[in-house]
């Protein structure tokens, strides 16, 4: 990172235990804002320049509402936490108004066809995403001890919004999961005899509180990478989890082998999980807890998928056919 100012922000966010992705995203928008202001130091700018930048994102770049909100969050952090001069709560700018898309949902037959088309290296992880409604990053970050075979649940730690939750685990995956744990243990046994191995990475400085934890198998990733890697900041040699981009590519390849014509992503499996639970009569509050939504209105979008289709409003055209 060439800019000392941006480097200072990154170090500050690191000490405040922000996720690496969040740090990179905030730095991206802060840098974009500084360039928009012709590289004027942000301390010399303020509410007016921020409003102009947000208007530029909405009117010229036509960014999505969530993208504009993310840029605003980055600038709010910049002015409040870094510069010590918070922005006005009454900023006046044009908000992006792109209509949110309804979630793409597969039928159960389509899910079955898709899961059967996924290659063996990624089959289990895709079945977990559908069977437990997990986000892709929640799945790849699972640790061995997050799987509870006794109660058939999965513990999800520090998910979106920093929340923890328990989700259901399909008993039918027990054998596959135990096989995966054996594979992970084989890599663990090989790694720990290496003098350069620094153990698995732990969040929130847990390695300081529990010095032995990085070398305990339960803390290691359920889906480990096939290669060791060196952390750029500390030069520690560790084994990370599998790369989520490989998973996305594997799913895309699997879709191409099926007859499914919908736009399918990893998140489609989560959408399908929620919709199928509601179709089976699950209470919306239960689905909300399984998905980890803070606001139930986020979960209600899946009821719209059901109620506005064949399970809800009857088309008047159907009456014409029934009278023939």
Active site residues: 135, 160, 267, 270, 293, 302
Nearest C-alpha neighbor of 85 from the set 52, 122, 123, 46: 46
Q: How far is 240 from 291, CA to CA, in rounded Å?
A: 25
Nearest C-alpha neighbor of 72 from the set 42, 51, 45: 51
In this structure, which long-range contacts are made by residues 281-285, counting pairs with CB atoms below 8 Å and at least 24 apart in sequence?
Answer: none
Structure tokens at 26: 């905030």
Q: CB within 8 A of 233, min separation 6: which ones?
A: none
Nearest C-alpha neighbor of 168 from the set 190, 183, 149, 186: 149
Nearest C-alpha neighbor of 220 from the set 194, 183, 193: 183
Q: Using DSSP bridges, classify how beta strands 229-230 and 147-148 pair: parallel, antiparallel or unpaired.
A: unpaired
Gyration radius of the chain over CA positions: 23
């Amino acid at each position: 990172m060439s800019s000392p100012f941006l480097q200072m922000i990154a170090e500050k966010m690191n000490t405040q235990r922000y996720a690496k992705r969040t740090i990179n995203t905030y730095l991206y928008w802060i840098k974009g804002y500084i360039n928009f202001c012709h590289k004027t130091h942000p301390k010399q700018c303020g509410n007016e320049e921020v409003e102009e930048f947000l208007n530029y994102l909405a009117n010229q770049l036509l960014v999505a509402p969530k993208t504009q909100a993310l840029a605003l969050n980055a600038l709010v952090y910049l002015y409040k936490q870094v510069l010590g001069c918070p922005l006005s709560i009454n900023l006046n700018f044009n908000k992006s108004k792109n209509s949110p898309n309804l979630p793409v949902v597969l039928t159960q037959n389509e899910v079955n066809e898709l899961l059967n088309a996924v290659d063996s290296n990624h089959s289990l992880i895709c079945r977990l995403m559908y069977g437990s409604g997990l986000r892709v990053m929640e799945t790849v970050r699972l640790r061995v001890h997050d799987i509870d075979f006794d109660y058939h649940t999965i513990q999800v730690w520090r998910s979106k919004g920093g929340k923890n939750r328990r989700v259901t685990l399909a008993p039918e995956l027990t054998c596959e999961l135990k096989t995966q744990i054996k594979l992970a243990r084989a890599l663990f046994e090989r790694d720990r005899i290496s003098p350069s191995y620094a153990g698995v990475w732990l969040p929130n400085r847990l390695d300081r509180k529990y010095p032995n934890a990085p070398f305990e198998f339960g803390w290691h990733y359920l889906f480990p990478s096939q290669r060791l890697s060196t952390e750029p900041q500390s030069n520690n040699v560790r084994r990370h989890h599998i790369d989520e981009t490989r998973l996305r590519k594997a799913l895309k390849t699997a879709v191409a082998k099926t007859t499914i014509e919908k736009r399918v992503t990893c998140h489609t499996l989560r959408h399908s999980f929620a919709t199928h639970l509601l179709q089976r009569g699950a209470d919306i509050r239960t689905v909300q807890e399984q998905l980890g939504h803070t606001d139930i209105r986020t979960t209600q979008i899946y009821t719209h998928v059901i109620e506005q289709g064949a399970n809800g409003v009857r088309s008047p055209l159907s009456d014409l056919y029934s009278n023939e």
